[in-house]
Structure 1
Amino acid sequence: MNAKSAGETIGPGYEGVGEFCDLFAGTNDIPFYLDYARRQGSPILDIAAGAGRVTLPLAREGFEMTALEMSPSMLKEFRKRMSHEPRSVTERIRLVQGDMRDFTLNQTYSLIMIPDSFGHAMTSRDQLSTLACIRKHLANRGLFILDFRCGALLPDHMEFEEPPASLPDGRVVVRRGEIHTDFVNQIMRVDVKYSVHKPSTRRHNLDRVIEVASGAAVIFNREADLLVELSGFVIEQEFGGFDGRPYTSECERRVLLLRGR
């Protein structure tokens, strides 16, 4: 592990790339969240909401949403997307700039989610603070959906390149990067390069390259169970993915349905 990755303080790494992130994010979790939104009802809190990947589809289905996001780049893109939505959708969305580790919204929620972002609480203290804020905002009989990638199955080192993705204006974005996992300090560092190409019939028409570094905590199962217990939650059900499969030790993701004690 090189010096830049071990123990270094790194954040989510979304500044300047808010318009690109959802190009490479899956949507297989949206039906899962929509299912539990229908079971629980409004209001719903989407933590680390990004540019509205989950909030917007749920608002289109009629749910009252609060979207909490810290990144100015993500908030800018979120507002841009809202400008293209009908008023019937945007009036259901309360967009709040805030830190998931320390927020007060003066409201409780029937459903709270933090899609694929709990790992951005990098330390145990940050994780406990995040969970304490969530517990405070969870209504009686409210449901909190917590998902995370199982630390024991993360790669030690991996390089990746994803298929090109197109923006609405015709620009093409290529994302490639490198992952380093420090299992001792429990930090995963992801260095990502976005290559943005102008609309063109020519094969090479590079406009700019943006490089960002993001970090996430490496969370192991027994640790997660302890965090849940210490924060006043009980596990009602758990899955090994958003397709509803039962959790087993071979599952790379763990999805917990939590209630307050």
Structure 2
Amino acid sequence: VTTSTVGEQYKSWVDTREPPLFGSHPDAKLIAIATKLGNPHQVRILDVGAGTGRNTLPLARLGYSVDAIELTPAFAEQLQASATAEKLPVTATQGDILDPLVRMKPARYQLAVAAEVISHFRDSDEVRLFLAKMCDSLCPGGVLLFSTFLAVGDYQPDALVRQVAQLSWSTLFTTQELAAAMEGLPLVQISDELVFEYERHHLPAGAWPPTPWFSSWATGRDVFPIANGRPPMELRWILCRRT
């Protein structure tokens, strides 16, 4: 799986699927974090993998200035057009966050978010590259919120499971691998929560589930299609503070 094929596949979503492609509401966890940061007009947010603006546009409507980076050109164009039409404080850029030539201004953001992004990465080296870039972009004291699939407990995924997970846009890591990716970076983990449970309890009733595919995907059933029991992987919200 390469980032280019991800972009191509998402392009086909634009052509074949009815919007909203990723849900009608922003992530509840993200909004909860943003509202704790003070006056929206004094907070700048970076949205990585912004899609068509499911999180970017609602944040901008609340008064936050948002810089969005999106891999898929059709998504980035649609996002910027929507923001321009509403005269929102949004700058959308098409690019791959893992590209060494894609750089954000240093120490610019109080909050960075990457929802449903790391699940496209191929290995923990890419996670570390992403985290290092976020450290460069965040102000000291700024926070980073991202979602990632983690193995449950002591489960150790084998090569076949990892391959299936990657092909299912559900790349997973162990907690030890995530810790190694963060080691030595100026990041302190604040919280670790189940995405499925948090969003189910905090999104408006009419907004749950965000999409028809979300529940199966977020609970790991795209990789482990079991009717009963709990798959040994789950999507987690990880919140970190930049020291």
Fold match (TM-score > 0.5): yes
Deviation sequence 1:115-145 (CA, Å, 0-9, x none): 1111222122222111111111011110001
Q: What is the aligned partner in structure 1 of residue 235 from structure 2?
A: 253
**Unaligned ranges ≥5, structure 2:** 154-158, 202-230
Aligned residues: 196
Name the CA distance, whole Å, in 2 between partners of 1:134 and 1:21. Answer: 32
Structure 1 or 2: larger strand share?
A: 1
Equivalent residues of 2:48, 2:114 under 8 A apart? yes
Name the counterpart of 1:222. Answer: 176
Counterpart residue identity of residue 189, structure 1: L
Larger gyration radius, structure 1 or structure 2: 1
Name structure 1 gaps, 5 residues minimum: 1-7, 154-180, 191-214
Which of 229, 237, 252 is matched with 2:191 structurally?
A: 237
Task: Give per-residue Cα distances to partners, 1:50-101, cap 9 Å, x unaligned.
Answer: 1111000100111110001121121232234335x422x2xx1011122211
State how far apart, in whole Å, the 2-side matches of 1:221 and 1:81 are: 38
Shift of the 64–126 alpha-carbon distance from structure 1 to 2, 3 Å rule, reads same
Q: Could you say if the C-alpha distance between residues 142 and 29 of structure 1 is closer, same or farther in structure 2, counting changes exceeding 3 Å?
A: same
Task: Give me the TM-score of the superposition, normalised by structure 2.
Answer: 0.69
In structure 2, the partner of 1:177 is none
Do the aligned partners of residues 65 and 255 (structure 1) sit closer, same or farther apart at CA in structure 2, a change above 3 Å counting? same
Deviations 1:160-197 (A, max 9, x none): xxxxxxxxxxxxxxxxxxxxx9325474213xxxxxxx
Q: Distance in 2 between matches of 1:105 and 1:21?
A: 32
Shift of residue 253 of structure 1? 2.2
Distance in 1 between residues matched to 2:141 and 2:127, nearest whole Å: 22
Q: Is it true that 1:63 corresponds to 2:64 in the alignment?
A: yes
Q: 1:111 aligns to what?
A: 111
The CA RMSD over aligned residues, in Å, is: 2.9
Is 1:136 aligned to residue 114 of structure 2?
A: no
Tell me which of 9, 27, 32 is aligned to 1:35. Answer: 32
- The answer to which structure has the higher helix fraction is 2
Work out whether 1:77 is the aligned partner of 2:78: yes
Match of 1:189 in 2: 167
For the Cα contact (< 8 Å) 1:16–1:73, is it kept in 2? no
Task: Name the structure 1 match of 2:48.
Answer: 47
Question: Share of identical aligned residues, percent?
Answer: 20
TM-score of the aligned structures, taking structure 1 as reference length: 0.65
Aligned pairs (5 A) from 1:196-215: 215=169
